[in-house]
Amino acid sequence: MTLSKPMTTTKITQSEAHDLLVELVETPSVSGNEEDCADLLVSFFEERDREAWIDDAGNVHAPGNGILLTSHIDTVPGEIPVELDDGVLWGRGSVDAKGPLTAMAVIAFETGASFVGVVGEETDSRGARHLVENYAEPNFVVNGEPSGWDALTLGYRGFMSGTYSVSVESTHTSRPEANAIQHAVGWLSAVESAFDSDADSVFKSVTAKPVSFDGGLAADGLTTEAEVEVQFRIPPGTTADEICEIADAELEAGSVSWNEAIPPTMASPRTELSRAFRVAIRGEDGDPSLLRKTGTSDANIYAEAWDCPVVTYGPGDSSLDHTPDEHIELAEFDESVAVLSGVCESLEGKP
């Protein structure tokens, strides 16, 4: 895909930016159902004579120059009444990640940067995977996730998941032989113990987290069955294969089916992109800080696929991600718009 710089001369007013943010937050977009929000973003660009379209994965594209601003459209489930009160916007997705998404759409229009709103980040990252397979490598990537307006995220742990399944012949509950539920609980406990770490931070540790558990007597009454879905976070210096090997070694019964992993990432603070953010944050009277997050984002996928600087930035308090109290301050959103503007203007035309 050829990157081209569109003609953009009109600024987006603060009121227009706030209206777009509120409208996106008001429009539900749980993973798998992002279409309505995607249409809103396309309309935002087309109404201002900027080319925009939706690809086969459902991502929204507004082609521009070699600076790619990208954030995700989807949210986790959970209905939070949308309310704008005293400069604070409440609602699902206000922080993760429609605040960053809106700021990027506004600045992409104003500066001619490329914009892509991706789908599926909260589930399988299908939008990001489609993007790296079909999009020309940009010069710089800014991934939109909440970092706070005066901070820049450089590192994320990786991610992998697996499903443990076991089936054993049923016995009377008075017997000492382990049933399937006991096997599953025992394996999970052994795995958690195997990854106990004396690392000085969570970022440097492997963590295992069960996210679903199902078990009991099978319908035929002849076996007991259990199934556990487990997610692992992978720190830099550890591979998914190493985690699989350790977890498989703890098996006494049953088996684990593993899904495709996302590797960890750690960007340099000395790239031109990182420096541009520090300068822009200071230009808004901020004291820039550099973050490493214990979760995973689409930045991991971009950093693995593309040989260009990748950082993550966006307004909002990430501790509010996925919570019933999700909200964002419009003043912080405005600061992030100013920072992104400064970054894109300083990098424009640079290879």
Q: Which residues are catalytic?
A: 74, 121
| Strand arrangement, sheet containing 255-258 | 207-217, 223-234, 158-169, 255-258
Q: For 75-100, give the secondary structure using H, E and C.
A: ECCCCCCCEEECCEEECCCHHHHHHH
Q: Is the N-terminal amide bond of 253 cis, ω within 30° of 0?
A: no
Q: What is the dihedral of CA 199, 146, 348, 282, to 10 degrees?
A: -80
Task: Tell me how crowded residue 87 is: count the other CB atoms within 10 A of its CB.
Answer: 13
Please state, in angstroms and rounded to a whole number, the distance separating the CA atoms of residues 323 and 146: 14
**CB of 313 within 8 A of CB of 142?**
yes
Q: What is the dihedral of CA 321, 327, 330, 334, to 10 degrees?
A: 0
